[in-house]
């Protein structure tokens, strides 16, 4: 079945299957700001994983700043941001935004995260907006695919799921 999202009302197709609470977290290989590879196995504990189109857009910027602030008070929870932005752009955004509690990771090479997690917008080759919470056993305990990419996610639901997974 074809899945869709909208961007400013325009429909686009999503690649991959949707994850739901109870799903096993799919593997991925992403690129960190220092150009090293990061896989699911390199992460651990409770994780909030945000997929966003680009850190250089207003909603993505606000979303990651909000999770950066919230993460300061969430001991034992790691926050990740996945986009297709180049690692250099992610590094610049993190420095300019004082994002010390968020790890930005890039899916620019082959889109394997987007395909495995069901977030890649096929026509644009960018991530849609989604938030996942993964527990220490690599089980998805919260999954939200934001239907309209220009809208904010449900921050409170994701944060509540993360606290509940501790």
Domains of the chain: 3-165 (3.40.30.10)
pLDDT tops 80 at residue 9: yes
* Whole-number Cα distances in Å, 144 to 102, 119, 157, 159, 164: 19, 10, 9, 12, 16
Residue 143 has pLDDT above 80, yes or no: yes
Residue 29 has pLDDT above 90, yes or no: yes
Predicted confidence (pLDDT) per residue in 85-127, tens digit: 999 999 999 999 999 999 999 999 999 999 999 999 999 999 9
| pTM for the full predicted model | 0.96
pLDDT in tens, 43-73: 999 999 999 999 999 999 999 999 999 998 9
DSSP letter for each residue of 63-108:
HHHHHHHHHTT-TTEEEEEEESS-HHHHHHHHHHTT--SEEEEE-T
pLDDT exceeds 70 at position 1: no
Model confidence at 80: pLDDT above 80:
yes
So what's the pLDDT on residue 73?
92
Residue owning tokens 């930005």: 104
The per-residue pLDDT for 146 is 98
- Give me the catalytic one of 60, 81, 84, 94: 60
pLDDT score, position 22: 98
Q: What percent of the chain has pLDDT over 70?
A: 99
- Please tell me the total number of residues recorded for the chain in this structure: 166
Find where tokens 């960018």 sit: 126
Backbone angles phi, psi at 31, to 5 degrees: -115, 125
Annotation marks residue 94 as catalytic? no
Question: What confidence score (pLDDT) does residue 2 get?
Answer: 77
The structure tokens listed for 74 are 């969430």
Exposed, middle or buried by CB within 10 Å (0-12, 13-18, 19+), for 143?
Answer: buried
Q: How far apart are CA 103 and CA 154, in angstroms?
A: 20
CA distance 44 to 122: 29
């Amino acid at each position: 079945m074809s899945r869709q999202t909208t961007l400013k009302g325009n429909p686009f197709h999503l690649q991959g299957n949707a994850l739901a609470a109870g799903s096993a977290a799919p593997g991925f290989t992403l690129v960190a700001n220092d150009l090293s590879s990061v896989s699911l196995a390199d992460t651990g504990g409770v994780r909030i994983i945000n997929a966003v189109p680009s850190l250089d857009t207003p909603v993505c910027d606000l979303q990651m700043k909000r999770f950066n602030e919230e993460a300061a008070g969430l001991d034992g929870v790691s926050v990740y941001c996945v986009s297709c932005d180049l690692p250099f752009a992610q590094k610049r955004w993190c420095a300019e935004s004082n994002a010390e509690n968020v790890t930005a990771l890039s899916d620019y090479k082959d889109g394997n995260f987007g395909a495995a997690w069901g977030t890649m917008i096929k026509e644009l080759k960018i991530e849609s907006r989604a938030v996942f919470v993964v527990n220490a056993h690599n089980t998805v305990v919260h999954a939200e695919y934001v239907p309209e990419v220009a809208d904010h996610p449900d921050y409170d639901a994701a944060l509540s799921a993360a606290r509940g997974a501790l």
